[in-house]
Structure 1
Amino acid sequence: MILRVAFLGPSGTYAEEATLALLGNECERLAHPSIQGTLRAAAAGEVDCAVVPVENAVEGTVSATLDTLWLYPQLRVRRALVLPVRHCLIGPVQHLTDIQAVYSHPQALAQCQGWLEEHLGAVERIPTASTSEALRHIGAHTAAIASERAARLHGLRVIFRAINDHPDNCTRFWLVSEKPLTETLPPPGGCTSIAFALRRNQPGVLHEVLSIFARHRINLAKIESRPTKKVIGEYLFFADLEGGVEAEPVNTALRQVAAVVAELNILGSYAVEQSGG
Structure 2
Amino acid sequence: MNEPAAYLGPRGTFTHEAAQALFPEPHFQNTPCDSIPDVLTAVDRGEFNFGVVPVENAIEGSVNLTLDWLVHHVDVRITGELVYPITQNLMVHPNHAGRPLRGFTRVVSHPQAVAQCRSHLRKHLPEARVSYVDSTAEAARHVAAHPEEAWVAIGPRSAGALYGLSILESGIQDYPNNFTRFIAVGNAWDHPLADPAGMKSSLLVTLPSDFPGALHQVLASFARLGVNLTRIESRPTKKKLGTYHFFIDAEQGAEESAIDKAVGEVESRGCHVRRLGSYPCYSFDKINGMRPVDNGL
Superposed pair shares fold, TM > 0.5: yes
1:1-277 equivalent positions in 2, closer than 5 A: 1-26=1-26, 27-72=28-73, 74-92=75-93, 93=96, 94-138=99-143, 139=146, 140-177=149-186, 179-182=187-190, 186=195, 189-243=198-252, 247-276=256-285, 277=292
Shift, 1:176, TM fit: 0.9
In the aligned structure 2, how far is the partner of 1:136 from the partner of 1:197?
43
Q: How many residues align?
A: 276
CA deviation map 1:1-43 (0-9, x unaligned): 3211111111011111111111211221111121121111111
What SS does the corresponding residue of 1:129 show, helix, strand or coil? coil
Cα distance change on mapping 1:112 and 1:158 into 2, 3 Å: same
Give the SS at the match of 2:141. helix
Q: CA RMSD in A?
A: 2.3
Alpha-carbon distance in 1 for matches of 2:179, 2:219: 29
Kept in 2: contact 1:194–1:240 (CA 8 A): yes
Distance 2:56 2:23 in 1: 20
Return the letter of the residue paired with 1:125: V
Structure 1 CA distance, aligned partners of 2:233 and 2:89?
31
Alignment match, 2:289: none
Contact in 1 for aligned 2:81/2:184 (Cα 8 Å):
yes
The one-character-per-residue Cα deviations of 1:109-153 (angstroms, maximum 9, x if unpaired) are: 111111101111142323333221222332313322110111102
Q: 1:38·1:50 contact (CA, 8 Å) conserved in 2?
A: yes
1:125 aligned counterpart, secondary structure? strand
With the length of structure 1 as denominator, give the TM-score of the two structures: 0.90
Deviations 1:55-110 (A, max 9, x none): 11222212211111113563112111111111111222334334332222222111
> Contact (CA 8 Å) 2:200, 2:280: kept in 1 or not?
yes
TM-score, length of structure 2 as denominator length: 0.85
- For residues 39 and 129 of structure 1, the distance between their equivalents in structure 2, rounded to whole angstroms, comes to 18
- State whether residues 188 and 269 of structure 1, in contact with CA within 8 Å, keep that contact through their aligned partners in structure 2: no
Cα separation, partners in 2 of 1:245 and 1:74, compared to 1, 3 Å: farther
Counterpart of 1:31 in structure 2: which amino acid? P
Deviation at 1:164, TM superposition (A): 0.9
Contact 2:203 2:249 in 1 (8 A): yes
- Structure 1 range deviating more: 45-54 or 93-102: 93-102
**Structure 1, unpaired ranges of 5+:** none
TM-superposed deviation, 1:270: 2.2
Gaps of 5+ in 2: 286-291, 293-297
**1:228 Cα deviation after fit:** 2.4
Cα–Cα, structure 1 residues 183 and 149, in superposed 2: closer, same or farther, change >3 Å?
Answer: closer
